[in-house]
């Protein structure tokens, strides 16, 4: 089981349902794209319901008669949702196929075009979300106050979907690291991501408990808003002003071999304690040659809007940088 990591505003006063049906969770990639009308790559704008991204990629490979590795996408999307995202199929020396999706499938091609460039992982900048929270029960007056605070930033936790059902990806990762499991390439990547995410979430939880997750701590590396670039700086008046304005955020570790991205002082002491708690996962990550990266501890939603639909449901619309989880926002608002 996964820990119930602390919320920035404390436990929500309202409970409800998220994803009562796929249409309650709509996510769409925000992508700047111009087709070249030639090239070796077919780009397909696909809407899916109830399917994961990897499943659709495999179906496209089968339809095009290519190996699965010839199909790429920018990011994994939720299965229990309505999602719209780009897929790319490498077709060197081949005519553009007649893409015909079987009627019994729960995904469809909305748009397509030819391009000279391959779609690479992490190419899109944002995801746009439209959510419906239903069966709300509790002090609904608390929602507006929480959303006002959330609009200025919320903890950038990895969502529970990163860890598999009941944290199963962490269990499988430990079995792999101890030689009890031999996963394939896709599963290996999933388990490594889950291990790094668990360590990051634990560091963020400790920072929330200490009250410095969004204000900085001695030895912090700071992340530029929405860019991923990080830098080391002492906390002075300028840094404090930039933190308060949301221009920069404190960062946490995506564990791996140390390089240029090294924290110091109080931050290093806190993170070292977490590494000791998960020494088995850290050793396995090192063995797999991952390099240390940093991730912002805070994320500020873009264009956050909300509307009370009736006395038991609420709609939310917002955009988040790629890699950030809508469920991390929702858990600050309600218990679901």
- Are 265 and 211 members of one domain? yes
CATH code: domain of residue 93: 3.30.2350.20
Residues 77 and 179 in one domain: no
If asked whether residues 108 and 171 sit together in one domain, one would say no
Q: Is residue 78 among the annotated active site residues?
A: yes
Q: Is residue 231 in a domain?
A: yes
Asked if residue 69 and residue 171 are part of one domain, the reply reads no
Do 108 and 194 reside in the same domain of the chain?
no
pLDDT of residue 258: 87
pLDDT at residue 261, rounded to an integer: 77
In a domain, 172, yes or no: yes
Name the pTM for this structure.
0.92
Residue after which a domain boundary falls, among 88, 115, 142: 115
Tell me how many domains the chain contains. 2
Structure token digits, residue 190: 């999933």
244 found inside a domain: yes
Q: What is the pLDDT of residue 40?
A: 92
Same domain for 266 and 201?
A: yes
Here the CATH number for the domain that contains residue 166 is: 3.30.2340.10
Q: Is residue 82 part of a domain?
A: yes
Given this model, what pLDDT does residue 259 score?
80
Q: Identify the pLDDT of residue 293.
A: 95
How high is the pLDDT of residue 75? 93
**Per-residue confidence (pLDDT) for residue 5, from 0 to 100:** 98
144 found inside a domain: no
Domain end residue (candidates: 67, 86, 115): 115
Per the domain annotation, does 325 fall within a domain?
no
265 shares its domain with 177: yes
Instruction: Mark whether 156 and 211 lie in a shared domain.
Output: yes
The answer to whether position 51 is within a domain reads yes
159 domain-assigned: yes
From first to last of its 336 residues, the chain has per-residue pLDDT tens of 899 999 999 999 999 999 999 999 999 999 888 888 788 999 999 999 999 999 999 999 999 999 999 999 999 998 899 999 999 999 998 777 789 898 889 999 999 999 999 999 999 999 999 999 999 999 999 999 999 999 999 999 999 999 999 999 999 999 999 999 999 998 999 999 999 999 999 999 999 999 999 999 999 999 999 787 999 999 999 999 999 999 999 999 999 998 877 899 999 999 999 999 999 999 999 999 999 999 999 999 999 999 999 989 999 999 999 999 999 999 999 999
Residues 234 and 290 occupy one common structural domain: yes
Task: Say what the pLDDT of residue 22 is.
Answer: 94
pLDDT at residue 38, as a whole number? 82
Residues spanned by the domain of 38: 32-115
- What's the pLDDT score for residue 37? 75
Catalytic residue among 24, 42, 51, 78: 78
Does 160 share its domain with 57? Answer: no
Task: Give pLDDT, residue 97.
Answer: 79
Residues 159, 282 within the same domain: yes
Contact criterion met (CB below 8 Å) for 330 and 12: no
CA-CA distance, 239 to 235, in Å (whole number)?
A: 6
pLDDT of residue 1: 84
CA 9 from centre of chain = 21
Q: Are residues 156 and 294 in the same domain?
A: yes
């Amino acid at each position: 089981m996964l820990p119930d990591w602390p919320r920035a505003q404390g436990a929500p006063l309202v409970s409800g349902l998220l994803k009562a049906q796929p249409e309650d969770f709509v996510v769409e990639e925000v992508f700047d794209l111009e087709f070249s009308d030639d090239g070796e790559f077919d780009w397909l704008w696909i809407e899916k319901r109830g399917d994961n991204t990897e499943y659709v990629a495999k179906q496209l490979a089968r339809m095009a008669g290519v190996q699965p590795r010839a199909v790429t996408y920018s990011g994994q999307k939720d299965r229990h949702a309505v999602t719209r995202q780009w897929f790319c199929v490498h077709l060197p020396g081949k005519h553009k196929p007649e893409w015909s999706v079987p009627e019994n499938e729960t995904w469809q091609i909305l748009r397509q075009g030819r391009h000279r460039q391959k779609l690479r992982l992490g190419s899109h900048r944002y995801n746009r979300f439209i959510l419906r929270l239903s069966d709300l029960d509790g002090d609904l007056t608390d929602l507006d106050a929480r959303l006002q605070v959330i609009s200025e930033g919320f903890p950038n936790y990895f969502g529970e979907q990163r860890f598999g059902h009941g944290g199963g990806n962490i269990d499988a990762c430990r079995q792999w690291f101890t030689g009890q499991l031999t996963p394939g390439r896709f599963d290996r990547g999933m388990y490594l991501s889950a291990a790094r995410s668990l360590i990051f979430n634990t560091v963020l939880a400790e920072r929330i408990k200490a009250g410095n997750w969004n204000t900085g701590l001695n030895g912090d590396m700071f992340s530029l808003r929405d860019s991923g670039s990080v830098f080391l700086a002492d906390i002075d008046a300028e840094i404090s002003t930039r933190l308060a304005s949301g221009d920069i955020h404190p960062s946490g570790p995506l564990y791996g071999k140390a390089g240029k991205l090294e924290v110091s002082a109080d931050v290093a002491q806190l993170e070292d304690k977490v590494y000791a708690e998960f020494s088995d996962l850290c050793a396995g990550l090192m063995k797999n040659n991952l390099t240390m990266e940093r991730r912002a501890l805070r994320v500020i939603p873009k264009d956050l809007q909300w509307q009370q639909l009736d006395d038991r449901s609420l709609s939310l619309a917002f955009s988040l940088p790629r890699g950030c989880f809508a469920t991390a926002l929702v858990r600050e608002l309600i218990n679901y």
